[in-house]
Structure 1
C-alpha cells in the first residue's frame, strides 16, 4: 500500500516539473510588480556530512516550529558517515549544527529497510512519526530523537494474504507529539470498532493515555461504507482531516451531498475530536461539497480553523489538466481561491501542497497564473506566499539574485512565525555549482527581516 503512495507522489512531482508547458503559451502581460520581501539566501538541506549534495532525489516532509530541524525523505546513499543507508530513509537535519541523522529506525535501533514516504515531526523536533515494514507488515512508529528510542505505536502482525489487510500507514503527529493520526485496514486497531472487509479507516492514538480512537466512523456509529485515508492533524491535535469515499460520514439531513457521494468520489472531511463533529472540508466557492484530490494534499492550519485543498478546474488550452487551490474557513464557511493573480480571467493552477502559519496570516503554496508567467523558460510551479488578510502575494523560490528559477518548487513546510520555509525543488540554478540535472532536492529559505 505504501509503495502506491510513493508512486502517486512521484507522479505529482513529475507533473509539477513539466506538466504545464501549455501555460506559457497563454502568457499575457505580467501582473503589477510588488515590493519583494527581504529573502535571505537559499540553503540546501539534503547534504552529506562533508557538505556534498545528496546523490539521489529527496522529498520535504516537515520542519520544527522554530525552524531548527528539517525532516525529509531520501534515496541518497551519502547522507551519513560510515553507515550503509537504506534504500529510502527518513532524515532530520539540525540546521544549526549541520548534523544529519537517520530517524527511520526500528525498536532495536536498526534502520528500517522499507519506509513509507509519509511522516511527521513534532513542533520541537523531538518526535518523528513514520511507518515502516518489519517482518512483512507495515506499522506506525514514533522516534524520540532525544532519548534515541523508537516506540511501536501499532502492533499489526502478518496474518493474511494481503499485507494491506493488516498494516498501518500515513502517520501525522500533533505539535506536542502526543497525538498521532494514521490509516489502517486492520479490524483490531480499536476493539469492537465497526470495520468492513474493504474499508480503510483513520484513527488517532493518544500517546499519553494509550487510547486509540476511530475517527472515520459513520454518523450513526456504524462502519464507514467506503475507504478513508491520508490523514492530517492540526498542530493543536484537535482536528483530523482525511479523504474518504464513504457516503455515510454525515447525517443525511446535514450533507446535501447525496448525489456527490453516491458517485463514490473522494471527498475531504475534517473531524473535531473534542466535539465529535465531522464536516465536509472540500467545498467549492458556491458552498457546495466538491471532490478533492486523492493524493495526500489536504492541509490544515495549526489551529484547525482553515483547510487548504485543490479542486479540478477547466483544463488549460490543449486539454492539459489543472487544479486550483482553495481555502475553507471551517468556522465561518467562507471559501476563497488562492491565486497569484487578482485578474478573474487569468488561467491559474496550483499544486495541492500548501502550508499555513500559526497565526493564520500567511499561506505558502506552489503554482502560477497565465498573467504572472513571463516567459516559457520560467518555472511552471513557483513557490509563493500570500497574506490572507491583504491578499499580497510574494515570490519565494527565486534565485539569490532574484531571477526566476528554472525548475519547480512544491511541498512547502513553514515555521510557526512564517519566516522560514522548507520545500522541494527541481531547479538547477538555485545555488552556484548546481550540476545541471533536474532532480528533486530540499531547500530552506528565510526572511532576513520583517
Structure 2
C-alpha cells in the first residue's frame, strides 16, 4: 500500500526493544526460475476513456485485496478529460467494469495539480491517501471514493512556515482504512512531541479516534536524532515500518552505548503500535544492519519485512542491491534469489509484496545468469514460495518468451492470484509501445 514527489524539494525526501538477538540467516536454495505455461493474461491498467492507452509514463501504487481496484499514478494527458492540464494525477481503475477515475481531487471535486507520487489504497478500494500542495504547503489527505469526499489528515499553512520544508508526505493506509502512517517535517503534528531542528518524523493517525501518535521516538523518550521517513504499514494496522538515520531508536546496551551507532547508513525499523516496541527490520547476512534502500514492505499481518540492502557491485562497478525477507517473529532472515547457482550474482528492486497467507513473495530482480544486453541487468517479475524456495517467472510475452524490458513495483491481492506491476517492455503485450513505463495486471490462476 506505496512512490516520489515531483517537486525538487520533496524528491529529496523520496528517492526488539532491548539488545537485538543474533538472527538466524538463511539463503533460500531457489529452484531455477521458470514460467508456468498456463498463467492468465496480462492486461494494461493505465487506460482512460474508451480504453485510451496512457500517452505518458505511469506507476503502480496498489491494488485492493479482492483485486477489483487498481491504484496508479500517471503523467498521461488523455486518461480523463481533466488530465490535459494536471501534469500528474492519481487514478483508480475498476478492473471489473473498466472505468478509470481521477481520485486526486479536492473535496468539491476540483482536480489537484500539485501532488506527490506516493499514495495508498485501502483493502476494499474505498479509501485513497495522498499528499498534495494547497496554500503553499503539502498535507496528507484521504479520499472516500464512495461518498466522494476528500478530508485532511494533516493541516498546515504556508503563513506559519518560516524557512525550510515543513510539509507532510509519503502516506500509507492499513487494509481496513483505519490507520494512516505518514512522514512530516512539521514540528506541531503531535503537541508536545520532542523535535529536532531537522525534524522528519513518522506518525500514525487513527481515523476512528482522531488521535495521532509519534512513531519515530528515541527509546529514552527524547527526539530521534536523525531523520525518519518512507513509512509502510501492515494490513492489520498494527505494525509500522520505516527508514531512519537516527541512532537512538533502540535502548542502550549494558555498557551504556546507544543501541545502534551507524549514522552513515539508512537503517530499517519496525514498530509494534500495541506494545510500543521498536526492532531492527533490515538485517544483512551477518545479522547486523546493512546499508538499506529506504523502501520497506510489510506483510499483511506485520510478521515479515521485505527490503533490499546494498551489496558488492556488479562487474564494471555498477551498484546493486540484494533482497531479503525478515521474519520479525522468529528473527529468521532469508536471502531471496532467482538462481540455484551459488556463484550467480543477484540483484533486486527493493519493492516486494508478500501474500496475506505469508506463503509467496513477489519481487523484481534477477541474477547474473540472466544478464542480457552486454552485461545490463534485466529486472523480471518473479514470485518465490517462502516454504520451498520454488521461483516462478511472471513477466513473459504472449508466446512464453522473456520480455525485453524491466518490471517494478509489484502489488498482490490477498489470495495471491492477481499481481499489479509497472513495466517498460515493448513486447509484454502484442503491439506494445516503446519503452515507457506503464502499469499492468496479471492473473496467476493456472488454466
Regarding TM over 0.5, the answer is yes
Tell me what 2:443 maps to. 446
Rate the CA distance shift 1:33–1:286 in 2: closer, same or farther, 3 A.
closer
* Aligned position for 1:417: 415
Q: Is the 8 A contact 2:33 2:391 kept in 1?
A: no
Compared with structure 1, are the counterparts of its residues 143 and 89 closer, same or farther at alpha carbon in structure 2 (3 Å cutoff)? Answer: same
Distance 1:365 1:35 in 2: 14
Contact in 2 for aligned 1:107/1:152 (Cα 8 Å)? no
Alpha-carbon distance change, 285 to 39 in structure 1, aligned in 2, over 3 angstroms: same
Give the aligned length.
428
Partner of 1:18: none
Distance, in Å, in 2 between the alignment partners of 1:254 and 1:307 is 28
Q: Relative to 1, partners in 2 of residues 1:240 and 1:33: Cα closer, same or farther, differing over 3 Å?
A: closer
Q: Distance in 1 between matches of 2:41 and 2:184?
A: 41
**CA displacement at 1:374 relative to structure 2:** 6.7
| CA deviations over 1:216-239 (Å, ceiling 9, x no partner) | 000011111111011000000000
- More divergent stretch after superposition (37-46 vs 371-380): 371-380
Instruction: Indicate the SS of the match to 1:90.
Output: strand
Task: Kindly state the Cα deviation for residue 313 of structure 1 after the two structures are TM-superposed.
Answer: 1.0
Structure 1 regions of 5+ residues with no counterpart? 12-30
Q: State the match for 1:22 in structure 2.
A: none
Q: Alpha carbons of 1:51 and 1:274: their partners in 2 closer, same or farther (altered >3 Å)? A: same
1:169 maps to 2:176: no
User: Structure 1 residue 57 and structure 2 residue 57: aligned?
Assistant: yes
How far did 1:342 drift?
2.2
SS in 2 for 1:110: coil
In structure 2, the gaps of 5 or more residues are 16-30
Q: 1:224 to 1:37 in 2, by over 3 A?
A: farther
Does the Cα contact within 8 Å between 2:33 and 2:393 map onto a contact in 1? no
RMSD: 2.4
Distance in 1 separating the partners of 2:444 and 2:374: 28
Measured in 2, the distance between the counterparts of 1:262 and 1:278 equals 17
Answering whether residue 296 of structure 2 is matched by residue 271 of structure 1, we say: no
Q: For the structure 1 residues 33 and 123, does the alpha-carbon distance in structure 2 shift closer, same or farther, using more than 3 Å as the test?
A: closer
Name the SS for the 2:430 alignment partner: coil
| Structure 1 residue 291: Cα displacement | 2.2
Q: Is the 8 A contact 1:339 1:368 kept in 2?
A: yes
Q: Does the 8 Å contact 1:247/1:264 carry over to 2?
A: no
Shift of 1:449: 2.9
Q: Is contact 1:423–1:442 with CA below 8 Å preserved after alignment?
A: yes
Q: For the residues of structure 2 that align with 1:318 and 1:162, how far apart are their CA atoms?
A: 43
Moved more, 2-11 or 99-108: 2-11
2:75 corresponds to 1:75: yes
The whole-number CA distance in structure 2 between the counterparts of 1:131 and 1:371 is: 41
The Cα of 1:259 is off from its aligned counterpart by 9.3
The worse-fitting range, judged by mean Cα deviation, of 188-197 and 31-40 is 31-40
Contact 1:224 1:247 in 2 (8 A): yes
2:118 corresponds to 1:118: yes
Q: CA offset at residue 261 of structure 1?
A: 2.6
CA 218–378 in structure 1, closer or farther in 2 if over 3 Å, else same? closer
